[in-house]
Amino acid sequence: MVKKLTKEQQDFQQYINKKKPKPPYIKNAFFAFLVGGFICTIGQFILNFYISLGLTFKEAGAPTSATMVFIGALLTGLGIYDDIGKIAGAGSVVPITGFANSIVSPAMEFKREGYVFGVAAKMFVVAGPVLVYGLTSSFIVGLIYYLFKL
């Protein structure tokens, strides 16, 4: 925090926190579970499809992710994904389709600022941090693993 709040401000914040309506926890949790589960079930369907083409379970993971990303990107482009998100919350944020949504939505929105500084640069406003932390943490894990193996 930048500055410590005064006593008066703290009291007001306490009072305000009582006034603010809480999000509908149960309803939100229910829909997050339902939609999140549903998206994963579709994922399972696609995974089984790739396995039926002769891939092993482990090999089928990558094309499944790519297909789900495509679906997420397409639904974002069609303007449907944000409507799902309004109901599902984390249920549509956490699956990899939500990752695709976080890439397409800013890219599309900033098209008017050009294809370099708009679309391409804004693509990673949300996805960038995810990759940075994902890659860095897995790098550290790999490094530790390598050092212990020596």
Footprint (CB under 8 A) of other proteins, residues 65-104: 65-66, 68-70, 73-74, 76-79, 81-86, 88-104
What length is written for the chain? 150
Query: What count of other Cβ atoms lies within 10 Å of the Cβ of residue 104?
Result: 20
Site for other proteins in 103-122 (CB under 8 A): 103-112, 115, 119-120
Site for other proteins in 1-40 (CB under 8 A): 1-3, 5-6, 8-10, 12-13, 16, 19-23, 25, 28-29, 32-40
Query: What count of other Cβ atoms lies within 10 Å of the Cβ of residue 116?
Result: 8
Shortest distance, CB of residue 41 to other proteins, whole angstroms?
5
| Radius of gyration for the alpha carbons in the chain, expressed in angstroms and rounded | 21
Residue with Cβ nearer other proteins (7 or 54)? 7
Which residues neighbour 37 within 8 Å (Cβ) at sequence distance 6 or greater? 91
